[in-house]
Amino acid sequence: MSNNIYIQGLGIISAIGNNAQECLDSLQSRADGVAKMNYLQSAHKNELPVAEVKKSNKELADMAEMPASLTRTALLSTIAAKEALADAAIESITDWKIGFISANTVGGMDKTEDFFKDFLQDASKGKLRDVVNHECGSATEIVAEELGATDYITTISTACSSSANSIFYGARLIRNGILDIAIAGGADALTKFTLNGFNTLMILDKEPCKPFDENRKGLNLGEGAAYVVLVSERVMKTLGKQPYCKLSGYCNANDAYHQTASSPDGTGSYLAMKGALEKSGLQLTDIDYINLHGTGTQNNDSAEGTAIKRLFDPHYPKLSSTKAYTGHTLGASGGVEAVFASLAIKHGLIYPNLRFETQIADQPFAPETQLIRQDVKNVLSNSFGFGGNCSSLIFSKV
């Protein structure tokens, strides 16, 4: 048996769809999910657009078949993880060592905010059940128990690279014989805490974002959850379903430049992409598509572009950011884009970079603006987080 790690199942819920097929349809029809706030109650409701999942907590609970008292992060996570496991079509998970590696950055902050609204008015008020699932690990444990994926459970929280790191950690667990199957990805819900924090950093766009555009003004926050089911070759050969692709390369690098900014020369981004390529054994010219981290901030797009120029010049793959569709889903973003990368390979698609108008002046390339149908063999997916925590994954056709 080889050391190949296969993507056997996909699950996702985001602002552009409640499952993988709906998201794929939206990507192909250029239907983005950025809009005025509806479910999040914020003082910035009429000022800052966001990419919300178009469901109330009660509706999410019904979809997840879980109590509505759970945190929104846990509900989103349950829905996407259940879809991924069902899609993998593994008849009996009890025959294998199976784990759940999930990422998030906000934990149960939505319920904590509900608690403090009452508690700060009167210390005898506030429902303690709203804070018991506050920490990031709580959502992971709830979902793992629901899935029956309890041979190995862990939570990863490395800002915006969180679920990319969870995916390649899952691959390493399989390669080292600790697991046979890993459900890996992440989830994050929109909260006032997150919105206010990013607004304080002055990196939110008051209009729908324009990743990799010269006149970009910031990002739009989003929410969602996405998971891939990773399996060993031994497991894959027992299944009656072809895998979407394989995870051929991965790397994490940290330039430790600044708490919230990427280094101007894109050192962490460059090292992550270079390391993933080396791990995969592929050449630069083998990459057909880069799913950019592409948040729409001045700093990120400049740094990521600089790193791409340093690594790929003069031959650039086709590239685009899908965050113009989904917003920046933070701890879920690497999982969301892993699902999109897997679908790009299966269906032969390069996604358009919505709202792009003007090429960045000091970058010798521009993102794709139209949906392209072509054979896609290798996709590089970037997830770059605060603190310089940068990760790149490479997905390859089997």
Neighbours of 121 (CB within 10 A): 10
Where helices occur in 124-180 by DSSP H, the ranges are 136-147, 162-175
Which residue in 289, 383, 295 sits closest to 343, CA to CA? 289
pLDDT in tens, 252-301: 998 887 777 778 889 999 999 999 999 999 999 999 999 999 999 999 99
Which residue in 56, 22, 59 sits closest to 38, CA to CA? 56
Token pair of 351 as six digits: 């996604």
What residues in the chain have per-residue pLDDT under 50?
Answer: none
Residues 280, 186, single domain; the answer is: no
Q: What is the pLDDT of residue 74?
A: 98
Residues 36, 97, single domain; the answer is: yes
Q: How many domains does the chain have?
A: 2
- Rounded Cα distance, 97 and 5, in Å: 15
Token pair of 179 as six digits: 């697991």
φ and ψ of 108, to 5 deg: -100, 35
State the DSSP code for 214: T
> Which of 238, 257, 273 is the endpoint of a domain?
238
pTM of the model: 0.97
* AA identity, residue 91: E
Catalytic residue among 160, 245, 251, 390: 160
Residues in the chain: 398
- Rounded Cα distance, 110 and 131, in Å: 9
Q: What is the pLDDT of residue 350?
A: 98
Residues 303, 368, single domain; the answer is: yes
Put residue 141 in one of left, alpha, beta given phi > 0 → left and psi -120 to 50 → alpha.
Answer: alpha
Burial class (CB in 10 A: 0-12, 13-18, 19+), 211: buried
State the DSSP code for 221: B
Token pair of 368 as six digits: 């794709």
Residues 347, 317, single domain; the answer is: yes
Residues 301, 159, single domain; the answer is: no
Put residue 120 in one of left, alpha, beta given phi > 0 → left and psi -120 to 50 → alpha.
Answer: alpha
> Which of 238, 255, 281 is the endpoint of a domain?
238
Query: Catalytic site residue 328?
Result: yes
Q: What is the pLDDT of residue 186?
A: 98
Residues 204, 324, single domain; the answer is: no
> If you search the block for the tokens 């894109």, which residue do you land on?
266
Where helices occur in 176-296 by DSSP H, the ranges are 192-200, 233-236, 267-280
Residues 277, 196, single domain; the answer is: no
pLDDT in tens, 333-392: 999 999 999 999 999 999 999 999 999 999 999 999 999 999 999 999 999 987 789 999
Token pair of 90 as six digits: 């593994």
> If you search the block for the tokens 């794709």, which residue do you land on?
368
Residues 47, 155, single domain; the answer is: yes
Residues facing residue 219 across a β-bridge = 204
Angle in degrees, CA 388, 284, 156, rounded to 5: 30
What percentage of residues in the chain have a pLDDT greater than 90?
A: 89
> If you search the block for the tokens 């086709």, which residue do you land on?
318
Which residue in 198, 250, 254 sits closest to 388, CA to CA? 254
Residues 226, 256, single domain; the answer is: no
Residues 67, 31, single domain; the answer is: yes
**CATH, residue 202:** 3.40.47.10
> Which of 196, 221, 238 is the endpoint of a domain?
238
- Rounded Cα distance, 35 and 355, in Å: 14
**What is the domain extent for residue 63?**
5-238
Residues 314, 232, single domain; the answer is: no
φ and ψ of 278, to 5 deg: -65, -40
State the DSSP code for 173: H
Residues 230, 255, single domain; the answer is: no
